[in-house]
Amino acid sequence: MRTLDRYVLREWAKVFLVVMIGFPVLVIVIDFTDKLDRYLGRGMSKGTVALAYLFAVPEIMFLVLPAAVLFATVFIVGSLGRHSEITAAKASGVSFHRLVRPLYVIAVAAFLGGVLLGEVTPVSSSRKEELLGEKQIRSTSSRYNFVYRADGGWVYAIAALQIATRTMTDLILEREGTGVDYPTMVIAAQRALYETAGAKRGTRRGGGHWSLQRGTLRYLLGPEQELAFSFDVLRTRATLQETPQGLLAEPTPPDAMRYAELGRYIDALARSGSDTRKLAVERALKIAIPFICIVVALFGAPLAVSTPSSGPAWGVGVSLATTFVALLMFQLAKAVGAGGVLPPMLAAWFPNLLFGAGAAWLLKRTRT
């Protein structure tokens, strides 16, 4: 690595780290000050509050990452232009694109880091809500009159669940279908018992399975087309694989799911005929938002040298305005994709495409 490359990377990293560390601290201080009375009223300890805000850091960093890349790029390239360092580099045979190439490489690393933060954020945010008492913690011994959404499009309606006896009463299991090839299934039973005798035979999820007692299995094939079977005992294989303790857990909302988990959830809803466009946009944004780190680096570098005589205030203004527009476009992408105006994938990536076109135009006009 050339001395010039190390200098550019070192100066870029200084601004980047200041934004990535300083902005979360600022947000946490403001939020803590606003909610201090609430925490004192709940009798929460200092350690619990501090740990909760530590879990909030990944989510804040995920949101501020594109802005940090843009700020660092505009400030460093603008500073090089104001101090004639770009002119000196060109005079020595180093083109503008060669000079800023390290910034593009580190922007790719920021994109990969953003993807990783996007996978960590759902877990850390859920943990923060639990510590601050913003997420309801259910009973560990029983649950009454609840609905549980499981994998594969199944929905359980259960009147009572008792952990001590590992039983459920008056339950209905339903999977919505789309026709004869994938019919709607409804299983109603008066009682269900969780048995562990099959553990030695390698049964899944805790070494047991549910046995439904005194019920009916119905296949809804279409209008006025139905097959129904009564049973005394029905052992479940493809559905109701959750343990009794697993059914006590509150179902994970889509915004708290990771990329792969959300994909499986969308597939299950699509098979049951539900509208998944909004969730599809949310899933695509988990990659599209970090990817804009690369786009804003390509956009910010030539933008910073378009007016070399401008000072730091111009860099702050341009960075803030560009970040605001990008975040606004991502929010609009959710509405556009969910409403069907554009396909979900195109809606999520449209801000990247627009800023990418602007970056290509600026790079073409930049003197090398």
The DSSP code sequence of 46-81 is: HHHHHHHHHHHHHHHHHHHHHHHHHHHHHHHHHHHH
Question: Measured in Å, how far apart are the chain's first and last C-alpha atoms?
Answer: 21
Quote the tokens at residue 217.
Answer: 């299995």
Q: Rounded mean pLDDT of 287-307?
A: 81
Q: Which helix (H) or strand (E) holds 178?
A: none
Q: Select the more confidently predicted residue: 21 or 308.
A: 21
Predicted TM-score (pTM) of this structure: 0.67
The answer to whether 194 and 185 have CB atoms below 8 angstroms apart is no
Q: Are residues 94 and 216 in the same domain?
A: no
pLDDT at 139 over 60: no
Maximal C-alpha separation, the chain? 88
pLDDT at 231 over 60: yes
Domain check: are 126 and 167 in the same one? Answer: no
Coil, strand or helix at 275:
coil
- Lookup: tokens for 84: 């004639």
Question: What's the average model confidence in pLDDT over 196-200?
Answer: 54
pLDDT tens per residue across span 26-74 = 999 998 888 888 888 878 888 888 898 898 899 899 888 888 888 888 8
For the chain, what is the domain count?
2
List, in sequence order, every residue forming a beta bridge with 210; answer none if it has no partner: 194
Classify residue 74: in a domain, yes or no: yes
Rounded distance, CA 55 to CA 324, Å? 25
Tell whether 152 and 244 lie within a shared domain.
Answer: yes
Residue 256 domain-assigned (yes or no) = no
- Let me know whether 20 and 122 are in one domain: yes
17 and 130 part of one domain:
yes
In what order do the strands lie in the sheet containing 184-195? 142-149, 154-162, 167-175, 184-195, 209-222, 225-235
Burial degree of 30 (CB within 10 A; 0-12, 13-18, 19+): exposed
Q: Does 202 map to a domain?
A: yes
Name which of 62, 63, 78, 61 is nearest 11 in CA terms: 78
84 is a domain residue: yes
Query: What domain range is 201 assigned to?
Result: 142-249
Give the residue-averaged pLDDT of 122-127.
Answer: 82
- Are both 321 and 344 inside the same structural domain? yes
> Would residue 263 count as lying in a domain?
no
Considering the domain architecture, whether residues 7 and 129 belong to the same structural domain is answered as yes
pLDDT at position 201 is 42
φ/ψ (deg, to 5) at 56: -80, -15
Structure tokens at 52: 């909760």
Higher pLDDT, 357 or 267: 357
Instruction: Report how far residue 185's alpha carbon sits from residue 175's, in angstroms, rounded to the nearest whole number.
Output: 5
- Based on the fold, state whether residues 43 and 122 are members of the same structural domain: yes
Angular region, 44: left φ>0, alpha ψ -120 to 50, beta rest: beta
Fill in the DSSP letter of residue 43: T
Residue with tokens 């495409």: 353
| Residue 317 and residue 220 share a domain | no
Let me know how long the chain is: 368
Nearest by Cα to 255 from 144, 118, 104: 118
Domain presence at residue 70: yes
Residue 192 in this model has a pLDDT that exceeds 80: yes
Distances (CA, A) of 347 to 34, 322, 325: 35, 19, 15
Q: Are residues 128 and 148 in the same domain?
A: no
* Residue entry with tokens 């139905």: 226
How many CB atoms within 10 Å of residue 348? 26
What is the CA 152 to chain-centroid distance, rounded?
Answer: 21
Q: What is the identity of the amino acid at 208?
A: G
**Average pLDDT for 156-182:** 89
- Position 202 confidence tier, pLDDT thresholds 50, 70, 90: very low
Cβ density class 286-316: b for 16+ within 10 Å, e for less: bbbbbbbbbbbbbbbbbbbbeeeebeeeebe
Q: Is residue 42 packed enough to be buried (19+ CB in 10 Å), middle (13-18) or exposed (0-12)?
A: exposed
At 4, list the tokens. 């010039």
Task: Clarify whether residues 28 and 128 are in a common domain.
Answer: yes
pLDDT band, very low/low/confident/very high, at 200 (cuts 50, 70, 90): very low
Co-location of 161 and 72 in the same domain:
no
> Could you tell me if residue 324 is inside a domain?
yes
Beta-carbon contacts of residue 224 (< 8 Å; ≥ 6 apart)? none
pLDDT over 80 at 8, yes or no: no
In a domain, 254, yes or no: no
- In whole angstroms, give the CA distance from residue 70 to residue 292: 10
